[in-house]
Structure 1
Amino acid sequence: MKMKRRYRAAVLLGLLAAVSTTTCSFGAGQVKQEDTMTGPGVSMTEEEMPGVPVKDGQIIPENLEAAREADQMIVVVGTGGCNADVFYYQKNEQENWGLAWQEAGIVGRNGITADKAEGDGKTPSGTYSFTLAFGLLENPGAILPYHLIREGDRWVDDPASAYYNQLVNTAQTPADWNSAENLPACSPYYNYALALNYNEECVPGKGSAIFLHCYTASPDNGSAGCIRLPQERMEQILRTVTENTRIVIAPNLESLK
């Protein structure tokens, strides 16, 4: 009988030790098996995964980062060379995103880049807002402030100038630049245009005068860095974009964010 009692006591002590060890294994530095693990190299559940912006070759606009703050989005996706597809998305009354239209567009003659530099002939990738509507033609009903181009208007692209990447007029501004876009001479490209807030800090050499504007006719060999659309589309865009509209530019679908 004594041997049996000792055996039962040993078994009970062993069970208690096992329970104690299991409980302590969830202390500091340990993770319970049922806890969700989201560290590097660990898969998240489907519900926890952020929405992907592209699925089966189709853009899902609500999953773009810009959709969090935008009321409308112009999405520019490079398709090779200076060619691009341009998608215009708007929210409906139920706050759902929908495609308003799609158009073939033109970008920089050397494509789209994440590392834009002055004179490289490339369009900068990223997400931007619009700061100014302007044009050689009368205001078509733009929501953003509209500047009617007049004689003497220049957009400075000389990195050595104090007015780099700024709109100036030679009647009021003493020229300290060796290079600037002569806006009155840019017909029909600047019949209607929108200025992006790219390099609004005016960092010398980072790129200047990045616009969304008109093109003439196909074939088009590409821009110095701007995005071009048919004039009818530009007129339509000027009537709808607001300060909360965003333009998203990517070299391909896979790089959309």
Structure 2
Amino acid sequence: MKSIDSPKSLTNSFHSLGFSLKSKQFLRQKTNSAIVLFCFFSFLGSESLSSEENPSLESPLQNAEQILFVTARASQTTGSLDFYTLNNGEWLAVLEKIPVRLGRNGLLLSFEKREGDGHTPTGIFPIQRVLGKGKKEIRNLEYTEIRKNYHWNDNPKSRSYNQLTKHQEKGAIPLWDSYIYELFVVIEHNTKPAFPGLGSMIFLHVWNEDKPTSGCVGVSKEVLETLVSVLDGSKKPNILIQILD
């Protein structure tokens, strides 16, 4: 994996993929993403206040130094992804306004999510696991190379509900045969533990550009490859999915 150690080299890497992107400090940038940035800082501010009022409640974003921020209107099946990273004490915008596909019924609060409802759940989810076909060098994140017999179980009646299985089970979805699972990041909704019927297989995966997802976040393979190459588990990355008013 090519070493990426500065915003400038990040920008060069993205240009090599055909993107016109810039890394810039939030306080200095002129951007069309004002709504996203306002929501981002407002959310961080509210999280900080909640932690101060109740020290026993630790914000999921308290130690995060990388954040993927997915936003859309509640009923929309398309949205935007922005990627922010903390560098030398300042937040930098690495990716901005990247188009994504969402569930066929749009966004829904995480606690209201149900199996098969076609909604993408909102909330804050740690990024801990990446799966894909072939060997990859992933920085400080769990990586699983998909084999032909690997499945993910979305059957609420199964003991393996919302878990990766290395064998075929009734109701389990094969990962090998679908191009959308060539590479994906697990969005840790209802995973630890998994409660029956509250939603499964919520991933950031390769999209079908012409169709919404079943409840995941879909993005182009080129962008996903770039994200995976930049993500660093030591920076405690999170994905924040939020409804825009």
Q: What is the rounded CA distance, in whole Å, between the counterparts of 1:185 and 1:199 in structure 2?
A: 24
Q: What is the rounded CA distance, in whole Å, between the counterparts of 1:251 and 1:58 in structure 2?
A: 10
Q: What is the rounded CA distance, in whole Å, between the counterparts of 1:191 and 1:56 in structure 2?
A: 33
Structural RMSD (CA): 2.0
Deviation at 1:98, TM superposition (A): 1.8
Deviation at 1:239, TM superposition (A): 1.8
Alignment partner, residue 95 of structure 2? 101
1:224 to 210, 214, 219: 214
Q: What is the rounded CA distance, in whole Å, between the counterparts of 2:202 and 2:163 in structure 1?
A: 11
Q: What is the rounded CA distance, in whole Å, between the counterparts of 2:63 and 2:140 in structure 1?
A: 18
1:167 to 161, 164, 175: 164
Alignment partner, residue 118 of structure 1? 115
Maintained 8 Å contact 2:36/2:71: no
**Correspondence 1:38-187 to 2 at 5 A:** 57-60=35-38, 61-63=40-42, 64=44, 65=47, 67-79=61-73, 80-93=75-88, 95-102=89-96, 103-114=98-109, 115-139=112-136, 141-170=138-167, 175=169, 177=170, 179-187=171-179
SS in 1 for 2:213: coil
Structure 1 letter corresponding to 2:228: L
Larger radius of gyration: 1
Give per-residue Cα distances to partners, 1:174-224, cap 9 Å, x unaligned: x3x3x121100111x1121111221021100000111111114x32x2111
Maintained 8 Å contact 2:133/2:183: yes
Q: What is the rounded CA distance, in whole Å, between the counterparts of 1:242 and 1:62 in structure 2?
A: 22
Give per-residue Cα distances to partners, 1:32-61, cap 9 Å, x unaligned: xxxxxxxxxxxxxxxxxxxxxxx9624144
1:195 to 176, 179, 186: 186
Structure 2 letter corresponding to 1:128: F
Maintained 8 Å contact 1:137/1:192: no
Q: What is the rounded CA distance, in whole Å, between the counterparts of 1:58 and 1:180 in structure 2?
A: 36
Structure 1 letter corresponding to 2:232: T
1:214 to 206, 217, 241: 206
SS in 2 for 1:225: coil
TM-score by length of 1: 0.69
Give 5+ residue unaligned stretches, structure 2: 1-32, 48-59
SS in 1 for 2:161: coil
Q: What is the rounded CA distance, in whole Å, between the counterparts of 1:191 and 1:151 in structure 2?
A: 12
Q: What is the rounded CA distance, in whole Å, between the counterparts of 1:58 and 1:86 in structure 2?
A: 10
Deviation at 1:96, TM superposition (A): 1.2
TM-score by length of 2: 0.72
Structure 2 letter corresponding to 1:199: N
Maintained 8 Å contact 1:109/1:121: yes
Identity across matched positions, percent: 27
How many residue pairs align between the two structures?
190
The answer on 1:251 being equivalent to 2:243 is: yes
Give 5+ residue unaligned stretches, structure 1: 1-54
